[in-house]
Structure 1
């Protein structure tokens, strides 16, 4: 109960501090000196979204290859990531762009099936894949750019999905451990910042509850076109195995590599900030439950070795797995830093718990909405889910600080999209405003004690945006997919360059 009351207290304290961070009408003026001297500024991508070369040099298929190529109707424009930005062949150009902008770090992900084509050691190690990432890492270091490597960004090897259902199978914990071991051994002499998983919450919600992303599973009452599934059971099994896979990878790193390589390992978690729909006690509790089922879902086990109390209380019928004493011990403290991916926020309203057709979305007994009394929480970007609420990044960071033992944090993703058009669009003033407002909130959180060490803009390049295909663009750099993937820095890239290379306010 103490943890539950602490969640409510943190929510109340942050609500009382609302006056400290009101939105301003004009774009904030920022200087590099507003941030600590050792603060890291970088940009981020992921393998399937930018690399291309999906069928080259021994890479095996992932569930995203299957999902997008076999079921093109599930992608808004029927596209896939088989070519994407062609970064596999153009990585030197991309590193040069990072350097020109002035970023001193690059967050990328490693394609599991490019290293292990079948996903496990039995299927063999692909040396060409190791060579590619060695070349990328060396190119980054030659330009003074720190590599931040993520080992899993949603692209489960199809071989493991076929063998035992991917993350539905407990076997994946050991297979991910073996894969992580290869990564640490091959790249850890130069990579000093590792993330095991990216957004496990998105994996369980979109892959196994809504079915909108690979592998496209959900309950038939949610979507009869899903390829099987149960949105009230499978997401919790998948989430459990993701957490254990993270713990197993961290254990390997700490036992075999950390002392000699002197690196750090963490995880990248996503969440919006959940505000109560009204000031009622019921809606405040609903907001706390919403946080329990999103950010706390994956953070709590890494701190206490247990699931959040609200999850234990609300997930009825034995659907929530439990950790053994040994697993709990492995998980406690299994991070050196936490990555936070923040884009948007929402309101939570208390609603009666459902008595049938359970899913992970209904279990919190909270209605989550982007508007209150018809007024949206903030302006909408291109994607329907992306309502712009800069203060949410501050509140989420401070929530993590107060509730979870003041962890070292990096903002590992933050950004907004615009619709893709037939014209080359470089004047992205709305994106500049988005970044300026969010960075201002990050700086404010640091000023009151949040241990935030860096910020990564999503994304360096326009890319394959999952179920949205190429219909929206998040990049600081425009990519012309109709002309060989030519790169054109947008105004936002120039804004970052000015911020990072001049002391004067921009």
Structure 2
């Protein structure tokens, strides 16, 4: 794209994660501008059948990466060959040891008082070679059967993500992974295996977690598997040039940032559609379940009332959310032949207006944006059923603090209260939101950031056998779920 291309500016106003919608979590900066009213919310404000849950993923929690017959995933491979690109890379294969401690973890979930648990199945634990032809790993089948049975025995409803970033490395080596149409066939086979094995008990399925991340991070900017891109080394891909959090490159494995993200996204859309069609035609009537996808989007507001800025906001919605939602309601997006995915949007994100931050800085959050995003979904996409599959806040790991201080997280409580309040307002305004999952149940392995950030309601003591300790926020959430008394929290 020519350097003279004009970029219209759009104000970022929220980052909230959902299923059938999703986005990034925010750092612990809690602005007070929303007022005290947002700190008043009770369990009884939500429908009696509303789903409250917690969420994790296999690669971030299970560990036992080379045990139980499991084959390597693309993330295992990245950690092995590029250990310097992943913080705490030596810990990735053990994560927080949930594979062997799942019964303990389920007891924690039960004690917390939520009624649902979102987790993912490791594709390479069921199919070590990625394809049915490579054989089914019975140890993996037995593990997930036991996990699901234990959840149900404890009154916890399983919500299962079929693919959460951890593609079998065997498929990457066999035909290039997501870039090849063969991926669609293998994903269909893998999905059907899950339906056959677990669908008698699992009634809520998510096909693919955040396909935008797979396409953009893996194939435009190269900071996630398979690490492909065609950018110059040092281009800032997360943050700003003045305060760059993650630079791109070097692009060790080739790639084309102008075309490959679109090819990958196309195959991911086909894979989702194929699995959904299969489930609806062959399994849904008998198993009586439902199936969806996890998509990521921020809420965008034009910086000004100009038509150019309004159009820029719509493009940002379309490139983040519409990219995948539009094909699902049978609309054909216009073709694009620009030279890089992020530049194709011709819109720039900013967190400031009139020299003021939204929130206390660029990593703040705006709970009202969650409500607005829900309402946008209702109006734009024919009122789909929505589960907020991930919504959470991270704090920086600081082992120099006494343990008692690390367990105090009033900022997370404030985050929870304010977002639940706004989510409830969206429901009262007619949005078809059926559930909310906090991310994450535990401090876990946050991909390239390793153990440097803490998202959990439960503190993980990484130096003492990964013991699980409830933070103040876990105790608050438990009280919220068990009581109808208005609960206040201060920031």
Smaller-chain TM-score range? 0.7 to 0.9
Kindly indicate whether the alpha-carbon contact (under 8 Å) linking 1:104 and 1:146 is maintained by their aligned counterparts in 2.
Answer: yes
Kindly indicate whether the alpha-carbon contact (under 8 Å) linking 1:69 and 1:80 is maintained by their aligned counterparts in 2.
Answer: no
Per the TM alignment, residue 213 of structure 1 is displaced from its structure 2 partner at its CA by: 1.5
1:279 aligns with 2:290: no
| Distance across 2 between alignment mates of 1:243 and 1:137 | 28
Partner of 1:453: 434
Residue by residue over 1:263-294, the C-alpha shift from the partner in whole angstroms, topping out at 9 and shown as x without a partner, is 00011111111111222211111000000000
Could you list the runs of 5+ residues in structure 2 that have no partner in the other structure? 1-10, 12-31, 236-247
Of 337, 345, 357, the match for 1:316:
337
Residue by residue over 1:211-256, the C-alpha shift from the partner in whole angstroms, topping out at 9 and shown as x without a partner, is 1222211113254412211111110000000000001111111121
Kindly indicate whether the alpha-carbon contact (under 8 Å) linking 1:107 and 1:456 is maintained by their aligned counterparts in 2.
Answer: yes
| Larger RCO (CA under 8 A, 6+ residues apart) | 2
Partner of 2:464: 483
Structure 1 SS opposite 2:373: helix
Of 408, 417, 431, the match for 1:436:
417
Per the TM alignment, residue 48 of structure 1 is displaced from its structure 2 partner at its CA by: 0.1
1:85 aligns with 2:96: yes
Per the TM alignment, residue 373 of structure 1 is displaced from its structure 2 partner at its CA by: 4.0
Of 275, 295, 315, the match for 1:289:
315
Partner of 1:94: 105
Per the TM alignment, residue 379 of structure 1 is displaced from its structure 2 partner at its CA by: 3.7
Structure 1 SS opposite 2:39: coil
Kindly indicate whether the alpha-carbon contact (under 8 Å) linking 1:27 and 1:433 is maintained by their aligned counterparts in 2.
Answer: no
Per the TM alignment, residue 77 of structure 1 is displaced from its structure 2 partner at its CA by: 4.1
| Distance across 1 between alignment mates of 2:207 and 2:266 | 14
Kindly indicate whether the alpha-carbon contact (under 8 Å) linking 2:55 and 2:438 is maintained by their aligned counterparts in 1.
Answer: yes
| Distance across 1 between alignment mates of 2:184 and 2:117 | 27
Per the TM alignment, residue 126 of structure 1 is displaced from its structure 2 partner at its CA by: 0.6
Of 53, 57, 61, the match for 1:46:
57
Of 478, 482, 486, the match for 1:501:
482
Structure 1 SS opposite 2:369: helix
Partner of 1:231: 257
| Distance across 2 between alignment mates of 1:414 and 1:267 | 16
Of 443, 450, 465, the match for 1:469:
450
1:257 aligns with 2:278: no
| Distance across 1 between alignment mates of 2:356 and 2:456 | 29
Per the TM alignment, residue 60 of structure 1 is displaced from its structure 2 partner at its CA by: 0.5
Per the TM alignment, residue 369 of structure 1 is displaced from its structure 2 partner at its CA by: 2.2
Partner of 2:173: 162
Per the TM alignment, residue 100 of structure 1 is displaced from its structure 2 partner at its CA by: 0.7
Per the TM alignment, residue 398 of structure 1 is displaced from its structure 2 partner at its CA by: 0.8
Partner of 1:268: 294
Q: CA RMSD in A?
A: 1.8
Residue by residue over 1:88-112, the C-alpha shift from the partner in whole angstroms, topping out at 9 and shown as x without a partner, is 0111111111111110000000001
| Distance across 1 between alignment mates of 2:175 and 2:291 | 28
Of 119, 126, 133, the match for 1:122:
133
| Distance across 2 between alignment mates of 1:101 and 1:443 | 21
1:392 aligns with 2:392: no
Normalising by structure 2, what TM-score? 0.87
| Distance across 2 between alignment mates of 1:247 and 1:141 | 28
Partner of 2:274: 248
Report how many residues are paired. Answer: 439
Residue by residue over 1:322-376, the C-alpha shift from the partner in whole angstroms, topping out at 9 and shown as x without a partner, is xxxxxxxxxxxxxxxxxxxxxxxxxxxxxxxxxxxx2110001001123334433
1:24 aligns with 2:35: yes
Structure 1 SS opposite 2:218: helix
Counterpart mapping for 1:5-20 below 5 A: none
Normalising by structure 1, what TM-score? 0.84
Structure 2 SS opposite 1:88: coil
Per the TM alignment, residue 26 of structure 1 is displaced from its structure 2 partner at its CA by: 7.0
| Distance across 2 between alignment mates of 1:295 and 1:43 | 23
1:149 aligns with 2:160: yes
| Distance across 1 between alignment mates of 2:346 and 2:447 | 29
Could you list the runs of 5+ residues in structure 1 that have no partner in the other structure? 1-10, 12-20, 318-357
Residue by residue over 1:431-489, the C-alpha shift from the partner in whole angstroms, topping out at 9 and shown as x without a partner, is 11111111111001001100001100000000000111110010000011111110001
Kindly indicate whether the alpha-carbon contact (under 8 Å) linking 1:79 and 1:469 is maintained by their aligned counterparts in 2.
Answer: no
| Distance across 1 between alignment mates of 2:38 and 2:371 | 17
| Distance across 2 between alignment mates of 1:401 and 1:276 | 20
Kindly indicate whether the alpha-carbon contact (under 8 Å) linking 1:107 and 1:150 is maintained by their aligned counterparts in 2.
Answer: yes
Residue by residue over 1:54-106, the C-alpha shift from the partner in whole angstroms, topping out at 9 and shown as x without a partner, is 00011000000011222111113444521011000111111111111110000
